[in-house]
Amino acid sequence: MNPRDIDVFNAIMITGGAGAAATLLDTSQPAISRSLAKLEAELDFRLFDRIRGRLVPTREGELFHAEVKANLVGLDRLKLRAAQIKEVGTGTIRVASLSALGHGLVPRAIVAFSKKHPQVRISYQVRTSHVVRDLVASGSFDIGLAADEVDTTGVLHSVFTTPRAVCVMPKNHRLSAKSVVTPADLADENFLALSPEDTVRLAMDRIFVEHGVRPRVLIETPYGLTIAILAAKGMGVGLVNPSVIADGMIAGIVARPFEPAVHFRALILRPPDGINSALVTDFTAELYAARNALGD
């Protein structure tokens, strides 16, 4: 089997689609499709079902991916070790983050770290939490920030932040006059919701049931940043991690505490045998400093 074809298959599995895999591997979507077709022909079984334009892993595909991940871990660690040896003069640090922290908190840490280490190259990606977890578990990345619903098998992990969710809305919204937003306030509002599997979304659903409230869920998205942007455009209100709106990144919105309190919970992840280099230690310290500055 061609190692490139295996890389393509793995990229599709961790990103969820051919287009995202092409971006991750810096190639074209047709090249991804050709490589996948070649691998399926060689294996003589389908790795994916094509359902309404989406690639859905077959049972065989899932079993094969489990074997691929087990073999890629060792290879990725060798590649990472070689890169670290090669770049010992200047150094490189690889960081991945979920979107909720990836546009506010982590950039703060990057700026502070770069001022102290101007010769160090930073490879930074904002991905879904599950992809962040896979990137760290494989040893491809040094540090990851992910939501607490990810599988923590095969990674070192600890709780990084547990900020209280805030309700965002347009500046001229009727709820902006309130000091605290409650479930009853949202009964007749267009609600911009996180994805159904998100732990904060699950907590919100329980709270709405307990209070007998059924908000009009207008949009579902895995990204708090999307909720904040849509709220600024008058599409509705929603709950987000306060890091999403830090530093006034999004104009035209206000945030109010939500009661009863709901908390996001993010983990900091490290590879199981991650190298505790001075660079990783220093960058981790800047992450905590940025967290503390934002009051999370």
Average of per-residue pLDDT values in the chain: 88
Question: 3-15 and 18-25 are packed helices; what angle lies between their axes, rounded to 10 degrees?
Answer: 120
Strand (E) or helix (H) holding 101: helix 99-102
> 118: cis peptide before it, omega within 30°?
no
CATH classification of the domain holding 252: 3.40.190.10
Q: How many CB atoms lie within 10 A of CB 244?
A: 27
- Give a yes or no: residue 93 inside a domain: yes
- Give a yes or no: residue 79 inside a domain: no
**Given a cut of 90, is residue 2 above it in pLDDT?**
no
Q: How many domains does the chain have?
A: 3
Give the model confidence (pLDDT) of 100-110 as tens digits.
999 889 999 99
**Given a cut of 60, is residue 90 above it in pLDDT?**
no
Residue tagged 């977890």 (tokens)? 133
CATH classification of the domain holding 62: 1.10.10.10
Least confident window among 20-29, 45-54, 166-175, 274-283:
274-283
**Per-residue confidence band for 89, with pLDDT thresholds at 50, 70 and 90:** very low
Q: Are residues 93 and 153 in the same domain?
A: yes
Host domain of residue 43: 3-71
**Per-residue confidence band for 221, with pLDDT thresholds at 50, 70 and 90:** very high
* Measured distance CA(28)–CA(21) in Å, rounded: 9
**Given a cut of 80, is residue 3 above it in pLDDT?**
yes
* Measured distance CA(162)–CA(148) in Å, rounded: 10
Contact 245, 253 (CB under 8 A): yes
Give the model confidence (pLDDT) of 111-144 as tens digits.
999 999 988 889 999 999 999 999 999 888 999 9
Q: Are residues 177 and 149 in the same domain?
A: no
**Per-residue confidence band for 197, with pLDDT thresholds at 50, 70 and 90:** confident
- Residue ending a domain, among 38, 71, 104, is 71
Q: Are residues 218 and 94 in the same domain?
A: no
Task: Give residue 82's pLDDT.
Answer: 60
Task: Give residue 84's pLDDT.
Answer: 55
Task: Give residue 88's pLDDT.
Answer: 43
- Give a yes or no: residue 80 inside a domain: no
Q: Are residues 66 and 14 in the same domain?
A: yes
User: What is the average pLDDT across 188-211?
Assistant: 92
- Give a yes or no: residue 78 inside a domain: no
Q: Are residues 43 and 103 in the same domain?
A: no
Q: Are residues 153 and 286 in the same domain?
A: yes
Q: How many CB atoms lie within 10 A of CB 53?
A: 7
Structure tokens at 69: 């991940």
Fill in the amino acid letter for 181: V
How long a stretch of residues is the chain? 296
Task: Give residue 66's pLDDT.
Answer: 87
- Give a yes or no: residue 43 inside a domain: yes
**Given a cut of 80, is residue 76 above it in pLDDT?**
no
Task: Give residue 146's pLDDT.
Answer: 96
Q: Are residues 172 and 242 in the same domain?
A: yes
Q: Are residues 270 and 128 in the same domain?
A: yes
Task: Give residue 104's pLDDT.
Answer: 87
User: What is the average pLDDT across 281-287?
Assistant: 94
**Per-residue confidence band for 296, with pLDDT thresholds at 50, 70 and 90:** low
- Residue ending a domain, among 36, 71, 106, is 71
Q: Are residues 180 and 135 in the same domain?
A: no
Q: Are residues 175 and 235 in the same domain?
A: yes
- Give a yes or no: residue 82 inside a domain: no
Q: Are residues 233 and 101 in the same domain?
A: no
Task: Give residue 78's pLDDT.
Answer: 57
Task: Give residue 288's pLDDT.
Answer: 96
Q: Are residues 147 and 176 in the same domain?
A: no
- Give a yes or no: residue 148 inside a domain: yes
Fill in the amino acid letter for 208: F
Contact 76, 140 (CB under 8 A): yes
- Give a yes or no: residue 77 inside a domain: no
**Given a cut of 90, is residue 287 above it in pLDDT?**
yes
